[in-house]
Chain A
Amino acid sequence: MIQVSSLSFTYAGQTGPAIHDLEFAISPGEIFGFLGPSGAGKTTTQKILFKLLAGYSGSALIDGREVRDWDIDLYHRIGVSFELPNHYLKLTALENLNFFGAFYQQHYRNAVDLLAMVGLENAANQKVGAFSKGMKMRLNFIRALQHNPEILFLDEPTSGMDPANAHLIKDLIRQLQGEGKTIFITTHQMHDAQELCDRVAFLVDGRIRALDTPKSLQLAYSSRTVEVQFRDSDGVKTYALDGLGTNPEFLNDLHGREVVTIHSREASLDAVFMEVTGKSLV
């Protein structure tokens, strides 16, 4: 569905490329995440894919056609939710949706239903200028859905949202995947990526440093140990995960002491990111 190879881009007036030799492919129905700190090239890559930036080198294919060769028809196929809210502030939420929705040929989703989907039904007739950032971001999100596109580009989809609304948006993203949509997310929220993405790519300084499923990345960088906390002591005791079932010390402790917690030492995606890239996600 999306195929990128040797993709590089340099902004006018800049000496170095913003992205360098990117290679990745996104299959139909997949949620793919681009993770990286601010300025890593995540948004640049997306902007190339939805044709806001021209003059790239390498190849970027959507549905087998080079992005530069797509006409405005591309915008019937894709939906974009930007990193920052961009709405007519003097118009209401409903007026905004109806205005943008009027440009699509195909039957689009009902604006009132979309507003209800993200809990904005009571704010439908409120001017967007009076919205909080989280409300504006939810409006960004549903605007991307109103023509029922096959491919969704979501740039920091939960940015500025409280945990409950972020959870709602993540549920909706999973639901959209269930409907067969292909979703390309950029985020620096590791937790979101871990929860949502089938595969993630770590992007730092315009280069992909790792690309795999979140689970595989976590496992690859996990220490194969188990930590157990017992009632009769303050600290935790560590056992090797390999041969755990036959480890006499571990079995003896399990029988003789009361266990408070027991955890495998699986690395968080955050820790993996830092380990792979040497950078934190700020």
Chain B
Amino acid sequence: MEGASYQRFPKVKIRELKDDYAKFELRETDASVANALRRVMIAEVPTIAIDLVEIEVNSSVLNDEFIAHRLGLIPLTSERAMSMRFSRDCDACDGDGQCEFCSVEFHLRAKCINDQTLDVTSKDLYSSDHTVVPVDFSDTSSGFENPEDQRGITIVKLRKGQELRLRAIARKGIGKDHAKWSPAATVTFMYEPEIHINEEMMETLSLEEKTSVVESSPTKVFGINPHTQQVEVVDPEAYTYDDEVLKKVEAMGKPGLVEIYAKEDSFIFTVESTGAVKASQLVLNAIEVLKQKLDAVRLSEDTVEADDQFGELGAHMRGG
């Protein structure tokens, strides 16, 4: 029994990688692992977000709690989050959560003095830690023609004479606690489809029939080769498992003309990050967090010992 192992060796292939986006293939593992990774990325990879707001002056049109909520939702760069402490188990500050090991302080001061409306944005937040700042989208090609137009995330707009002054504390947290701590905008995976066309049967079809098969799919999965006039798979991943083609083929009285299977050990992931951590780092952090979780559910020594004792006793009582 010793030395037995049922370990798998998953394969990864990255198709596309940007700071806030990743698309990759994961093979030779099962849906439980793929789904665990997805769930961890969304709800359990830590980031830093504003958690406590002390408002000094607020004469804006938005009430205090409304502004506090908006501040909480601003993504902050969180490369440090994995190594940072949660305030609840920080022993340096007895749980008030305001020390340098578990928190970052922000200040915001804005007052509108002229007739033009003043936009208070994430750029107006001053951080006590240069590694934890509001996410900056301006260097990415985000579609702003003029860099001047790009001024961060709007928090509130001020009219002449209105003022906003506050202090905010950002802390480490996870998406399970509140969605503001989730580093993921979207994480999805799909089974890789395997599409078979019965060529012989397809040859018996007229061009109109072939076209109707191709057009029965709501997404562009199939196409007709202009030279050979054969039905071909153009993009298998466009298939949404809608069964429309299979129904069409069935209705034509040609079952088996097209067959589609989901490969059960092959997944295509798309990961979009909020910008708090890079998409590639998000995946790596998720693997690390999942490893830590598994480590935490190992049986403790005393559980094993207690069982050894009572186990023998139990065997004895069973008449062993």
Say if A and B assemble together: no
B interface residues with partner A (beta carbon < 8 Å): none
